[in-house]
Structure 1
Amino acid sequence: MTSPVELIKSRLDIVKVAQSLGIEAATYKKNICCPLHDDSTPSFRFYEGADGGSFVCFSHCDLSRKHGNDMFALVMAINGVDFKGALAYLASLSGVELSRKKKSPADEALGLAQYFFRKNLPESGVEEYLASRGFCAAVIEKFGIGYAPPGSRLARYGHQQIEGLLEVGLVREMDGHGVSDLLRRRLTIPIHDRHGGLAGFAGRLFGDPSHGDRKYMNSPESRLFKKGDLLYNMHRCRRGQTLIVTEGYLDVMALDQVGFHNSVCTMGTALTESHISSLVEFSDDLVFMFDGDKAGKRAAWAAATHLICHTDKPISFRFALLDSVDPHEYLSTHSPADMEALLDAAPPLSDFITREIEALSDCHGDRPEDLMRLLSRFEDFINRAPSGIFRDILADRVASITKAHARRIPLLELSSRDQAFIAAIEELASSFGYDSSVLSTDKSRITFKCDGAGQISES
């Protein structure tokens, strides 16, 4: 019996796999720069073979030695996944169904639904619509776009798996009137978890809307589909590289089409702490690319309130706000080089926060009462940051921008029962010209507070 690995290798070609991973130069014809290490001289080559082909790095870099040299090794090295993750990725790419010891009704229902939506795509007009918006057939195929037809055709098609369809919410019971499809007349976008498992769908309205129809509709919350945890396209992204965070599915697809393969978005919700935790674990260079309109700015500020809690980590948080367009619209009138320049110039979190504070300060004028209220609001925001240099410098910036130099912003607290330690701190303060009498101590705590002019004051 042919194993899934053998079947995958018989269906796929390693160069095609490499191209799906973003290695645009992949070819059998010549050496290319190794995608697995910093390679200035082309030292990497693909070779054809009956088992799907292989690769060789003549520099013998660590990653190529670690994983081997077939298409599974390539996926493991590029995507930073284990063999199971590579198997899931290649099975999805090749259409090979992976057998499981115990496949749940929910998993079977999701697979059936994806097959049904894809089956209905050719006659729907969705491909022509996406082509008119600049998407090529390869991207439509790669992202598994489908179509949910009108009526309750999924419920009828999947009647033998109706319990699973009900569990994942793709069909609903109608108060004694049978069952009805959740997604109707919608372009469908499959959503995967970070390991490549199908978790649910997003449906974008296609055709004339009925009264009250929402533009986007997601699978309902379930054991597999949790909007607060899932990030669209995360399973295709490479670990350790710059990761772009956008607001929409089509933004991710548009970026991927022009070579920016490391991008994700949420399920139409604001970023959660769970999302941020996944992002900072995945990459140390995150670029948040939001629309430049009011909604985009609100989303960016909401993200900043989560990100500031992680400023003690060696991670770059950057913001690239577009001018009243989304990344998909931007790329319709700009080149990939323009996008690259925009990403390179994206300011860090501290500059984004400073700019927002400056804009709000300008709107509030110079009245002390308004400035104090504004500063109080930002004090709460800044105190979300862990103690350290980032919070110290940001506090100084806020005090300077709001012209409230006398306002005391807490910067550092030390707790100790060691009176010798407290005495040493007092002596250190004195060595910098501060009068030790301004330091407030008790049996267990010594607290420093510093205003915008750099003066230590009483706790």
Structure 2
Amino acid sequence: MAIPQQTIDQILDRTDLVDLISQRVKLKKTGRTYSGCCPFHQEKSPSFHVYRDKQYYHCFGCQANGNAIKFLMDIDNRSFIDVMKDLASQTGIELPKDNQDSKKLTYKKTITPAPSISTPPVAPAPTPDHIQDFEPYPFPQDDPFLFADQQFTEITQEGNLYDLLENITQFYQQQLPKSASAQRYFKQRGLSPTTIQDWRLGYAPEDWQHLEQAFPQDIDGLKQLGLIRTSDSGRDFDLLRDRVIFPIRDPKGRVVGFGGRALNDEIKPKYINSPDSEVFHKNQLLYGLYEGTKFKAQDWLLVEGYMDVIALHQAGIHGAVATLGTASNTEHLNILFKRNHRITIAFDGDSAGQKAAQRTLEIALPLLNDGRELKFFILPNDHDPDSLIRQEGVEKFQQLWQQAPLLSDFLFALLTQQHDVSTPEGKSQVMGELKNMTQLLPPQGSYRYLLNQAFREKLGLGKRFTPKISHDASLSFNIRTRDEDFAVALLMSNPFLYTHFEQLRAYIQQDDLLAEILAVLDQVFDKLPEDQERAIYYVLGACYAYRNEIAELLQRTNVLDILNSPEQAFNFAKENALALQEKLLRQRMKRPASLQESQNLRMQLNELTKKISLRLLH
């Protein structure tokens, strides 16, 4: 049974991991987590922690970790499918059934057999007495009644929608050489024969029933796919006519639908897409994603149209994708965020593009967990990516892409365009609108705070991180100071960075000062005041027992002179946390408590190494 990732995610979202594990392990709330004795190894003091907000568990002792599915598979030694059936039943989500799913992909394929010639009726056998008088009975082959009793029974078979779509794709490809106007269109857009072949581009003839004529046995399938429509008068007609065709492939490379562009610009709409069907869901697909994945693209750019995607790929920019005639939504952005923590969206520079950017901004904010970055590529006026590359060249395009502002800069420019920030009233209005926007951000993490702090500084409302620092000073700091001490200094100057260091509690020695500070922050983090100054005093009070060590460390590191912006503190925290995690993992691997723990640590180190490598690439 193949279970779609979307269904798995829905089941995990509806499963309360704390409730699930509480049925097997006695848990006690400790700060932001629930803790208990690990069910995977014997221990006397609790080192097993469950994070309700992250739907994740981790044992500090044996390093067992995972989600609800992994927990049930490991504790009961059950298969993935068995566990999914159990969780699906508990959450009320129906899993796909093999038979049911396969039927959804079929249609009635009708075959009319050719008529066979009936055997003529036989005349009575002549007797020997009159055999010489017998004349053969005449049976003219063109007799209209010859096949009167013949049964023309249609044979019905099951056809597969994916096979039908593949056949239609080949049919459209075969029509392209027959249309001079379609070939001229692709040539004017600068597409090479190789590009046309790779993207399987084609042409739909202008005849109103060309698909019925080409596929007379597959009318039911064509109607299921929405490629044949029925008029008010009851007459069937083809959806795509006299248009160049863009086959749309799913992540597995199967054609699931088509886009058609009118060759005559007077025809509206200019673009038509196949409607949603059992195999085609516009909101869950991106044009070019399969091709980009095939080329192992790292940087992803969301553009507007099919031709933009193809032109960018032809120029060597393989991470370009486009929505399928719909506006960007959370599904589209999540598809890309799963492939890279940093994505870029391109918009036209006109007013319509600005409105689209603002709408995308609003749907993107709830997705911006710590570590995710969204850039806004505003194209020069009167240009789309295709025209920009053809007129300015790919190097100019790459340069503009690299200079595209991050979400924070774009949002600041957007809001300050609407208000006079030279006045207190204007600044107040900007901060008011920013507060409304940041309410859309995930409640966990530090991005909400960092965004507010950055705006305050740009508007001249906050001077906390004004000191400047040379690159040499930053290097000398790292030489003199332990990573653990730097982490403590960062946390004391910005307690909201705790979310970056939280996972270190699984590896660090409990008598280390950083471990003590992390334990305190775990207890008080949800109670921190939103204002940074007040949050700092709150944490200093909670860490009063370590006041002498903290004072000495802050004086020695002088962290406030090293960081000159919230963004820099954020980046330092990410890098410091990753470096510390790698260091502590390697130390822990030298003294594993068991073979199982050694294997778990090795897996975690491999994942961490990949994450660090990706960060270095960017």
TM-score by length of 1: 0.62
Q: Indicate yes or no: 2:415 matched with 1:334.
A: no
Partner of 1:130: 186
Counterpart residue identity of residue 254, structure 1: A
Distance 1:261 1:207, change over 3 A: same
Partner of 1:114: 169
Q: State the alpha-carbon separation in 1 of the partners of residues 408 and 161 from structure 2.
A: 44
Q: How does 1:6-405 map to 2 (within 5 A)?
A: 104=106, 105-124=160-179, 125-150=181-206, 151-175=208-232, 177-207=234-264, 209-210=266-267, 213-238=268-293, 239=296, 241-324=298-381, 325-362=383-420, 366=423, 368=425, 375-386=431-442, 387-399=444-456
Partner of 2:529: 448
Q: Which runs of 5 or more residues in structure 2 are unaligned? A: 1-101, 107-159, 463-494, 499-525, 536-618
Q: CA deviation at 1:344?
A: 2.3
Q: State the alpha-carbon separation in 2 of the partners of residues 133 and 304 from structure 1.
A: 31
Q: State the alpha-carbon separation in 2 of the partners of residues 156 and 175 from structure 1.
A: 21
- Measured against aligned partners, the alpha-carbon deviations of 1:334-359 in whole angstroms (never above 9, x if no partner) come to 12211222222222222222221222
Counterpart residue identity of residue 384, structure 1: L
Q: CA deviation at 1:287?
A: 2.0
Contact 1:290 / 1:300 at 8 angstroms: preserved in 2? yes
Q: Name the count of aligned residue pairs.
A: 320
Partner of 2:148: none
Contact 1:361 / 1:401 at 8 angstroms: preserved in 2? no
Q: CA deviation at 1:298?
A: 2.2
Contact 1:240 / 1:283 at 8 angstroms: preserved in 2? no
Q: CA deviation at 1:192?
A: 1.0
Partner of 1:68: none
Q: State the alpha-carbon separation in 2 of the partners of residues 371 and 169 from structure 1.
A: 53
Q: State the alpha-carbon separation in 2 of the partners of residues 148 and 366 from structure 1.
A: 60
Q: State the alpha-carbon separation in 2 of the partners of residues 170 and 218 from structure 1.
A: 10
Q: CA deviation at 1:173?
A: 1.9
Q: State the alpha-carbon separation in 2 of the partners of residues 366 and 223 from structure 1.
A: 56
Q: CA deviation at 1:366?
A: 4.6
Q: State the alpha-carbon separation in 1 of the partners of residues 298 and 185 from structure 2.
A: 32
Distance 1:341 1:374, change over 3 A: closer
Q: CA deviation at 1:135?
A: 1.7
Distance 1:142 1:240, change over 3 A: closer
- Measured against aligned partners, the alpha-carbon deviations of 1:394-419 in whole angstroms (never above 9, x if no partner) come to 113445667889xxxxx98x9xxxxx
Contact 1:284 / 1:316 at 8 angstroms: preserved in 2? yes
Q: State the alpha-carbon separation in 1 of the partners of residues 372 and 446 from structure 2.
A: 14
Counterpart residue identity of residue 441, structure 2: A
Q: State the alpha-carbon separation in 2 of the partners of residues 455 and 146 from structure 1.
A: 64
1:312 aligned counterpart, secondary structure: coil
1:202 aligned counterpart, secondary structure: strand
Distance 1:376 1:118, change over 3 A: same
2:378 aligned counterpart, secondary structure: coil
Q: CA deviation at 1:269?
A: 1.6
Q: State the alpha-carbon separation in 1 of the partners of residues 265 and 435 from structure 2.
A: 48
Q: State the alpha-carbon separation in 1 of the partners of residues 396 and 429 from structure 2.
A: 40
Distance 1:222 1:367, change over 3 A: farther
Higher percent of residues as helix: 2
Q: CA deviation at 1:383?
A: 1.5
Q: State the alpha-carbon separation in 1 of the partners of residues 372 and 456 from structure 2.
A: 25
Q: State the alpha-carbon separation in 1 of the partners of residues 429 and 229 from structure 2.
A: 49
- Measured against aligned partners, the alpha-carbon deviations of 1:89-143 in whole angstroms (never above 9, x if no partner) come to xxxxxxxxxxxx9973422332232122112111222122221122212111111
Q: State the alpha-carbon separation in 1 of the partners of residues 336 and 455 from structure 2.
A: 28
Q: CA deviation at 1:152?
A: 2.1
For the aligned residue pairs, the C-alpha RMSD in angstroms reads 3.2
- Measured against aligned partners, the alpha-carbon deviations of 1:351-389 in whole angstroms (never above 9, x if no partner) come to 222221222224x98584x76665444322112223433
Contact 1:187 / 1:204 at 8 angstroms: preserved in 2? yes
Q: State the alpha-carbon separation in 2 of the partners of residues 394 and 298 from structure 1.
A: 22
Q: State the alpha-carbon separation in 1 of the partners of residues 265 and 344 from structure 2.
A: 35
Distance 1:313 1:113, change over 3 A: farther
Counterpart residue identity of residue 200, structure 1: G
